[in-house]
Amino acid sequence: MEKLKIYGFEMSRISEVYLSTLSSIMAPHGLDRYYFPLLYLCEHSGKLTQKDLAEAIRRDKVYTMRIVDYLSDKDLLKRKQDCNDRRCQILEVTDNAKKLVPKIKEAIAKTDELLFHDFSTKEKEDFKIGMSKLFATINTLPDPEFIVKAFKKKK
Amino acid sequence: MEKLKIYGFEMSRISEVYLSTLSSIMAPHGLDRYYFPLLYLCEHSGKLTQKDLAEAIRRDKVYTMRIVDYLSDKDLLKRKQDCNDRRCQILEVTDNAKKLVPKIKEAIAKTDELLFHDFSTKEKEDFKIGMSKLFATINTLPDPEFIVKAFKKKK
DNA sequence: AAATATTAGTTACATTTGTAACCGTTTCAA
DNA sequence: TTGAAACGGTTACAAATGTAACTAATATTT
């Protein structure tokens, strides 16, 4: 008799612990969230609008704007008017942000080390493959309404 | 040059999609959240207090109380005074809740099917092992304060 | 080229979640 | 036994997040 697993539930707990661990390691450096968006912005500094960022992190524009607000307040990011389309803003990271990148990477490595400490190299590799597959899948999933209909029909 | 992965970030996205998929499949049955707590309550009906539930789901007591409120509103759960300790309440699920259990399990199976559709049996097995290890690890992790200190020292 | 629709970004408000103080009950030490 | 501390649960308030309506700029249609 196997114990029932709800992956969504376990994952949400794991991600909470992961991110709060990362956050406490990074707190002394003055940044306690939005690590992925910041890294992404650093990699594409001066080339992204808020809309582009929203698509990259798969969030709505309000959420994205709040990230930009937050990072701007911390002097890690600047909004610059796009001359071609005055509706858009080009996002450009500051030197502070660039200096922070290695700290973040170090903190991520440390967090991984903590959470995967009892994984063998092979197990890590397998797990990474699974995560990549899942992440690819969720990014191509039809919207929930469709899923419900398909589910009902099948019954 | 490998692309940087932040597991916490990916997992939080995956769990969101997982749970919202589960939620849309279950919505027609009148329950859109708290699947794990409800299943756990059904398995231990009449034996748990709110505190016990809080420990099982690793949440604070306020969050737990809100779940109990929610499930009680939906007529899935009853609070009963504990005669031995009048501070405590024994949680007992209703027949409605019991009837819902197979629906929930069905919905979970369907969600897994959707998200793991491109996994081989072996890959599923490997991934499950990884999740179990991670879940076990986060449940024994020292608190964030300690982690920061350990991290600083190491440097 | 004037009217309409669409887009990027923002604001305002509703809902959800986190945190701290609280209340009645029980435990424990003096 | 009685006064302080601890406990289970609740309430009240603060912070974060989701949703919808709005503004200014651009694109499209006729």
Cα A27 to Cα B97: distance, rounded to the nearest angstrom = 43
Cα B20 to Cα B14: distance, rounded to the nearest angstrom = 10
Determine if strand C comes within 7 Å of the CB of B153. Answer: no
| SS3 state at A119 | coil
Mean pLDDT of B99-106: 95
Cα B91 from chain centre? 17
> Which residues does residue A81 pair with via DSSP β-bridges, in sequence order?
A89
In a domain, A14, yes or no: no
Question: Of A36-50, A101-115, B106-120, B135-149, where does mean pLDDT reach its minimum?
Answer: B135-149
User: What pLDDT, on a 0 to 100 scale, did the predictor assign at position B2?
Assistant: 65
> Which residues does residue A77 pair with via DSSP β-bridges, in sequence order?
A93
B79 pLDDT band, cuts 50/70/90, is very high
Domain membership of residue A60 as a residue range:
19-140
In a domain, B73, yes or no: yes
User: What pLDDT, on a 0 to 100 scale, did the predictor assign at position B154?
Assistant: 42
In a domain, B74, yes or no: yes
- In this model, does residue A150 exceed pLDDT 90? no
In a domain, A154, yes or no: no
Mean pLDDT of B57-61: 93
Mean pLDDT of B41-61: 95
Non-local CB neighbours of B151 within 8 Å, separated by 6+ positions: A25, A107, A110
Number of DSSP helices (H) and strands (E) in chain B, helices first: 7, 2
User: What pLDDT, on a 0 to 100 scale, did the predictor assign at position A82?
Assistant: 81
Residues 61..90 of A with a Cβ closer than 8 Å to B: which? Answer: none
Determine if strand D comes within 7 Å of the CB of B78. Answer: no
Tens digits of residue pLDDT in B14-27: 999 999 999 989 98
Amino acid at B77: L
B106 pLDDT band, cuts 50/70/90, is very high
- In this model, does residue B78 exceed pLDDT 50? yes
Mean pLDDT of A6-15: 93
Cα B128 to Cα A63: distance, rounded to the nearest angstrom = 32
Please tell me which residue of chain B has the smallest CA distance to A121.
Answer: B130
pLDDT greater at residue A149 or residue A26: A26
| SS3 state at B107 | helix
Determine if strand D comes within 7 Å of the CB of B79. Answer: yes
With 0-12 / 13-18 / 19 or more C-beta atoms within 10 angstroms meaning exposed / middle / buried, residue B68 is buried
CATH number of the domain where residue B32 is located = 1.10.10.10
Tens digits of residue pLDDT in A59-110: 999 999 999 999 999 999 999 988 889 999 999 999 999 999 999 999 999 9
**What's the mean pLDDT when you consider all of chain B?**
89
C-alpha torsion angle, residues A154, B126, A106, B147 (rounded to 10): 100
Phi-psi category of residue B34: left, alpha or beta, with phi > 0 → left and psi -120 to 50 → alpha: left
In a domain, B63, yes or no: yes
Count of structural domains, chain A? 1
CB spacing of A14 vs B138 below 8 angstroms: yes
Question: Of A39-53, A68-82, B130-144, where does mean pLDDT reach its minimum?
Answer: B130-144
- In this model, does residue B143 exceed pLDDT 70? no
CB spacing of B25 vs A145 below 8 angstroms: no
Cα B154 to Cα A106: distance, rounded to the nearest angstrom = 12
Determine if strand C comes within 7 Å of the CB of A88. Answer: yes
Q: Are A38 and A71 in contact (CB under 8 A)?
A: yes
In a domain, B69, yes or no: yes
- In this model, does residue B34 exceed pLDDT 70? yes
- In this model, does residue B153 exceed pLDDT 50? no
- Element holding A92 (H helix, E strand): strand A89-93
CB spacing of A11 vs B8 below 8 angstroms: no
Tens digits of residue pLDDT in A23-42: 989 988 989 899 999 999 99
In a domain, B3, yes or no: no
In a domain, B148, yes or no: no
Cα A123 to Cα A140: distance, rounded to the nearest angstrom = 26
Please tell me which residue of chain A has the smallest CA distance to B121.
Answer: A130
